[in-house]
Amino acid sequence: MKTSKGKLSPLLVALLVFLLDVPIGSAYISDAQDAPLEEVIGENPPSIPPLVCSEHTCNKDWSLEHTPVDSTPPTMEFGWWEDFWSDSDSNGFDDRLQMILAGERESVSLTSIIGSDGRPTVAIIVHYAWHPGPTDIESLRSTIETHGGKSDGSWFMVWITLMRSFWITCRSSL
């Protein structure tokens, strides 16, 4: 059986690309591991303002051990939020939103609208370890309204994802 030159060419090119690329990539040694964080990022990491609830620092106990009665069993381990990538102070609250609430940053959302206070609105996504029931959803809705969230011009939506975790999204001027 004869092999034509046209059938071997793509295989030969792929083999050459692999053989020539691997040594170059493996020869690179990053010195970022030993460098100070300021040199790698280019600036000092921002200090996160404390999360304030009604003029006092929030000291919420995040160590839940059960789900509400009208929710379904958890699909994620309790405490997953403690390792959330954008929560450097480990309070269960996204650092970016915490800085917006403290007035140290503006919303960068491409879909934001200007609220009545003249500031861009934010999208808040709440992740649950379980499928929230009506009690969870109503509790979140009333909490947002209690803290100044307005229903006119904003929306509140419950998403069921393929991974079986729930997201509740609301867009509001806080």
**What pLDDT does residue 142 have?**
85
Buried b (16+ CB within 10 A) or exposed e, 112-129: beebeeeebbbebebebb
- Over its C-alpha atoms, the chain yields an Rg (Å, rounded) of 24
Amino acid identity, position 64: L
* Mean pLDDT, the chain cut into blocks of 10 residues (174 residues total): 68 74 58 52 65 77 71 75 73 83 85 80 79 84 76 68 48 48
Q: Hey, where are the domains in the chain?
A: 37-172
Q: CB 103: neighbour CB atoms within 10 A?
A: 9
Rounded to whole angstroms, what are the CA distances from 103 to 44, 52, 59, 106? 19, 12, 20, 7
pTM comes to 0.55
**What pLDDT does residue 26 have?**
56
